[in-house]
Amino acid sequence: MESEPTAELIRAQLRRLRLAANLTQEDFGKQVHFSGSQISAIELGQRPFDRLFLKRADEVLNSDGLLLGLLRIAELHRQPHFLRPWLDAERVAQQLRCYHPTLVPGLLQTEHYARAVIRSDDLLADDEVERRVAVRMDRQAILTRPDNPPILIAVIEEATLRRVDESFRGIMTQQISHLLDCVQRGGVLILVIPAEVSVHVGHAGPFTLACGADGDWVGHLENHLGGATIDRAEELATLHARWDGIRSVALPKGQSELLMKEVMESWSTI
- Same domain assignment for residues 59 and 150: no
pLDDT for res 46? 85
Between CA 114 and CA 45 the distance in angstroms is: 31
Angle between helices 36-43 and 6-20 (to 10 degrees): 130
Q: Which of 28, 61, 76 is the last residue of a domain?
A: 76
At 206-263, the pLDDT tens digits run 999 999 989 999 999 987 767 788 999 999 999 999 999 999 999 999 999 999 999 9
- Same domain assignment for residues 117 and 151: yes
DSSP β-ladder status, 207-211 and 95-99: antiparallel
Between CA 209 and CA 220 the distance in angstroms is: 6
- Same domain assignment for residues 109 and 131: yes
- Same domain assignment for residues 33 and 160: no
- Same domain assignment for residues 71 and 99: no
- Same domain assignment for residues 68 and 157: no
Q: Which residues of the chain have pLDDT under 50?
A: 1-3
pTM comes to 0.75
pLDDT for res 8? 86
- Same domain assignment for residues 44 and 100: no
- Same domain assignment for residues 137 and 21: no
CATH number of the domain encompassing residue 46:
1.10.260.40
Give the structural domain span for 33. 6-76
Phi-psi region of 262 (alpha: psi -120 to 50; beta: other; left: phi over 0): alpha
Q: Name the nearest CA neighbour of 267 among 182, 190, 195, 168.
A: 168
CB-count exposure of residue 14 (10 Å: 0-12, 13-18, 19+): buried
Residue 100 falls within a domain, yes or no? yes
- Same domain assignment for residues 61 and 139: no
Q: Which of 51, 76, 101 is the last residue of a domain?
A: 76
CA distances for 107 relative to 89, 98, 100, 138, 175, angstroms: 14, 9, 12, 9, 12
pLDDT for res 240? 96
Q: Which of 76, 107, 136 is the last residue of a domain?
A: 76
Residue 1 falls within a domain, yes or no? no
DSSP state of 198: -
Residue 116 falls within a domain, yes or no? yes
pLDDT for res 1? 44
Count: domains in the chain: 2
- Same domain assignment for residues 135 and 62: no
CA distances for 40 relative to 25, 26, 46, 62, 137, angstroms: 7, 9, 8, 20, 30
- Same domain assignment for residues 47 and 120: no
- Same domain assignment for residues 114 and 157: yes
